[in-house]
Each structure stands twice: as structure tokens, then as C-alpha cells.
């Protein structure tokens, strides 16, 4: 039986928004099935369903009638109208970004990825984002006025409510930039902003680990970040800083300061285990290399220096995660990003440090997996977050019962 959506106070909802949540979460339902699931009266169910049909949010899927079988016309069933509009999402990384146009159920219809440089500032990056969105809408045969929402993710701390980047270590010029204002000229719809690792975490959780309501997502690419799912919800922390392990500081025995990080501090996890730091160390040892993709190729082809750096990076990351594992007690750790492709070397160090330094009870049933969504994890997570926002039961009730 599908659970009803709940109100902010934790009580089951009975408005059209709660019924819409049923149609979003499961297979098509008849009016009789909705009555059974919700316990609502026939007249209430009919009224709520009629409102949702009239608004275009659900559609009546009348079954084919087979002549000579049964009596009368079979009952129609209702389902989410995924053609009602589209969603636009863009997962912006330090050196690349992936944009997608999705249906309102969160399914990706078309996506494109391009290289970028987030340090060039928001205007340069967002001009490219606009171009990708225009291309994707054309592919989907849609216009800007059919876009119901936009969601972006970035490799830095964000104010989720205000949709702004806040004091990012590497995103020059992005601090408090008016992202909503940028898109308002073309699109009349909500805009959400999320940290990249958090978007990835939500995509993996909803797609592959819905039964593991406490999960940690580790993103390893040019930089290092983490997203946290706790109690089946995104955990952003009091000010949105939860999961920023890349800029926590670690020091080796007898070390004074440690390597300088891009954020200006010394000894950060990212300055030891991030893709850019490993490239720095390879170049220092005479290797000609300039991208994380090239770094991954060298690790996978057994370049001894690259392999040694990857194993060391795994141990540094394991040390950084060990206390988090003891405190959060996640059921699953998912590792994504470009460096996840070097899982044989990275995972060995992760496991070694996490299992040796975390509480035994916290690791008893802990699972460590590579991302199953790979490069689409952020896009999938953004699309699902955006669909949840647009179809929030209280928002739907306010629109249809006003």
C-alpha cells in the first residue's frame, strides 16, 4: 500500500496534493483504489481527482475495451501527466558541466555535457548553461514557457533557501550572485540551487538505495565533497555547510601546516586527495598531465607514481570519513565523480582507514559502493529534487483549493 503524503505537522494529508503524491509514487490507480489506500469517501476522492485532472496534473488512462469480455466499461485509472511540462537541470562542476531536460516525473529526456572552468565566474559559465538549455529544449520540442522549474548544482557551499553560492573557496565571483535574476528574463518558474555532492546523494538514494535511509555520498573529482542523507532526508546542516569534508584539515605526524589548498588554508583533505592535488604531485615528479581524466588513465594503466598517489589519497579520505561514519552511522557510502573510476586503488585505502578507525558497531553492516548513476547522478538528483518542490502537497493544495 502506498503511503499518503504528510503535512508539515506530520499528519497524513487529505487534499489534492496528497493524492497527487500517490500518483507520483506508484502505478496508475482507479478511483476505488484511491479510496482504499486513503480511506477517504467516494465524494471526496472524486472531487480531488477531478481537480487534478482539470489542472492537467494527472490524466485518465482508460483501458482498452475487449469486445465480448465482461460487462460494461472497465474503470479508468489515473496517473501523473508527465507531458504537462519539462524541467531544466544543470550539474556544474569545476571543469565540466552536464545539463538535461527532464519530464515532470524526473526522467531525463535529453542531456549534454561540455567542459567549463568555474573559476571564470558566473557570467561565462551561465552563458554556456543558457546555450545548453536552448539546445535541449529544441531537441525536446519544447519552448521556455513550458519549463516548470530549473535546478542547478555547484561545487561549493550554497544557501539553499536564497539560491545563492556563499563564500565558495574556488568559485571566483560567484559569492551571492543573483542566479534567480539571471534566469528570470527567459523563464518564469522556480529555481533551486544545491551543492553538487548533495544532488548526487539524492539521485543515488532515490534511484538505488531507498531502503538505506542513512547514506553518505563522496564525490571525488577535481575537488572533494560529500552529501548526506539522514532519516531519508537531505541533511544540509544549520547553515548549509554539512558534508564539506574537502576543506577540513588533516596533518601528518610532525608536519607543520601541510600543502596549501586552493581555498588558501593548509593541510585540507582536498589539498592531499583531490584530483587537482594529485595532478600537482604528478607534475612535480616529471609527468606531463593536465586533467583529471588523464590522471584516471594513468592510474588505470598502472603508472606507479599515479597508483601510489591514488592509494595515499584513499587513506587520507578514509581518515577524514572515519569520524563521520562513527557519528552518522550510514548504511551505505557511495563514491562518485571522475576518480571513482579508479576504484581499485582508491577503495582499498578508504576501507582500510574507515574500518580501522571507526566504531565497530558503525561499520558492522556498512556497505561501500561506486556510484551506479555515474556522470548522471547529479542531474538525476536535481530533477527529483525539483519535481518534489514543484509538486509539494502543501503547494498543490494552496494552488487548487484557493
Which pLDDT value is given to residue 71? 53
Place of cell 565533497: 225
Task: Name the 3-class secondary structure at 162.
Answer: coil
Instruction: Report d(CA 72, CA 188) in Å as an integer.
Output: 45
pLDDT per residue over 357-367, tens digit each? Answer: 999 999 999 99
Return the DSSP state at 81: -
Beta pairing class for 29-30 and 77-80:
antiparallel
Evaluate whether 244 touches 235 at the Cβ level (below 8 Å): no
Angstrom CA distances, 319 to 181, 333, 352, stand at 41, 14, 9
Evaluate whether 389 touches 191 at the Cβ level (below 8 Å): no
In this predicted structure, the answer to whether residue 172 has a pLDDT above a threshold of 60 is yes
Considering only 16-25, 61-70, 225-234, which range has the smallest mean pLDDT? 61-70
Average pLDDT for 315-329: 95
190 Cβ partners below 8 Å, 6+ apart? 149, 150, 386, 389, 390
Nearest by Cα to 243 from 315, 302, 194, 299: 194
pLDDT band, residue 170 (cuts 50/70/90): confident
CA atoms in the 13 A half-sphere facing the CB of 31: 17
Which pLDDT value is given to residue 169? 85
Instruction: Report d(CA 172, CA 291) in Å as an integer.
Output: 20
Angstrom CA distances, 75 to 32, 57, 71, 186, stand at 9, 19, 11, 42
pLDDT band, residue 75 (cuts 50/70/90): low
Evaluate whether 223 touches 276 at the Cβ level (below 8 Å): yes
246 Cβ partners below 8 Å, 6+ apart? 223, 224, 225, 226, 268, 269, 270, 274
Evaluate whether 235 touches 229 at the Cβ level (below 8 Å): yes
Instruction: Report d(CA 172, CA 308) in Å as an integer.
Output: 32
In this predicted structure, the answer to whether residue 2 has a pLDDT above a threshold of 60 is no
Strand partners, 89: 100, 151
Place of cell 497527487: 20
Average pLDDT for 357-379: 96
User: Taking the alpha carbons of 207, 100, 377, 162 in that order, is the dihedral positive or negative?
Assistant: negative
Which pLDDT value is given to residue 263? 87
Which pLDDT value is given to residue 402? 73
Instruction: Report d(CA 182, CA 290) in Å as an integer.
Output: 32
Average pLDDT for 206-224: 96
Q: What are phi and psi of 301, to 5 degrees?
A: -100, 15
Nearest by Cα to 228 from 316, 315, 321: 321
Which pLDDT value is given to residue 296? 96
Neighbouring C-beta atoms of residue 192, cutoff 10 Å: 22
pLDDT per residue over 102-125, tens digit each? Answer: 999 999 999 999 999 999 999 999
Instruction: Report d(CA 348, CA 368) in Å as an integer.
Output: 11
Amino acid at each position: 500500500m502506498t503511503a499518503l503524503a504528510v503535512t508539515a505537522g506530520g499528519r497524513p494529508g487529505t487534499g489534492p496534493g496528497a493524492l497527487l503524491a500517490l500518483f507520483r509514487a506508484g502505478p496508475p490507480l482507479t478511483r476505488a483504489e484511491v479510496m482504499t489506500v486513503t480511506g477517504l469517501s467516494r465524494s471526496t476522492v472524486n472531487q480531488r481527482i477531478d481537480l487534478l485532472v482539470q489542472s492537467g496534473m494527472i490524466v485518465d488512462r482508460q483501458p482498452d475495451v475487449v469486445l465480448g469480455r465482461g460487462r460494461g466499461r472497465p474503470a479508468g485509472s489515473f496517473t501523473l501527466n508527465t507531458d504537462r511540462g519539462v524541467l531544466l537541470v544543470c550539474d556544474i562542476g569545476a571543469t565540466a558541466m552536464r545539463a538535461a531536460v527532464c519530464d515532470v516525473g524526473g526522467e531525463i529526456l535529453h542531456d549534454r555535457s561540455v567542459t567549463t572552468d568555474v573559476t571564470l565566474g558566473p557570467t561565462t559559465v551561465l552563458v554556456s548553461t543558457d546555450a545548453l538549455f536552448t539546445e535541449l529544449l529544441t531537441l525536446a520540442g519544447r519552448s521556455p514557457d513550458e519549463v516548470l522549474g530549473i535546478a542547478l548544482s555547484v561545487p561549493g557551499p550554497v544557501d539553499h533557501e536564497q539560491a545563492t553560492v556563499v563564500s565558495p573557496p574556488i568559485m571566483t565571483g560567484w559569492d551571492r550572485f543573483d542566479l534567480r535574476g539571471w534566469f528570470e528574463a527567459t523563464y518564469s518558474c522556480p529555481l533551486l540551487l544545491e551543492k553538487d555532492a548533495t544532488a548526487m546523494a539524492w539521485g543515488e538514494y532515490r534511484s538505488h538505495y531507498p531502503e538505506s535511509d542513512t547514506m553518505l555520498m563522496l564525490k571525488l573529482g577535481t575537488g572533494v565533497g560529500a552529501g548526506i542523507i539522514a532519516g531519508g532526508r537531505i541533511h544540509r546542516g544549520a547553515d548549509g555547510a554539512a558534508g564539506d569534508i574537502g576543506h577540513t584539515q588533516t596533518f601528518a605526524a610532525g608536519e607543520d601546516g601541510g600543502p596549501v589548498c586552493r581555498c588558501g588554508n593548509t593541510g585540507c583533505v582536498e589539498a592531499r586527495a583531490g584530483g587537482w592535488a594529485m595532478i600537482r604531485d604528478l607534475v612535480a615528479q616529471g609527468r606531463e598531465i593536465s586533467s583529471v581524466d588523464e590522471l584516471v588513465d594513468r592510474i588505470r594503466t598502472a603508472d606507479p607514481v599515479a597508483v601510489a598517489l591514488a592509494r595515499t589519497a584513499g587513506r587520507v579520505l578514509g581518515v577524514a570519513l572515519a569520524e563521520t561514519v562513527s557519528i552518522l552511522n550510514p548504511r551505505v557510502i557511495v563514491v562518485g565523480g571522475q576518480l571513482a573510476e579508479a576504484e581499485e586503488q582508491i577503495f582499498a585505502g578508504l576501507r582500510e582507514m574507515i574500518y580501522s578507525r571507526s566504531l565497530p558497531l558503525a561499520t558492522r553492516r556498512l556497505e561501500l559502493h561506486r556510484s551506479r548513476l555515474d556522470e548522471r547522478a547529479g542531474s538525476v538528483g536535481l530533477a527529483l529534487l525539483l519535481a518534489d518542490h514543484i509538486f509539494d502537497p502543501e503547494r498543490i493544495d494552496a494552488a487548487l483549493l484557493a
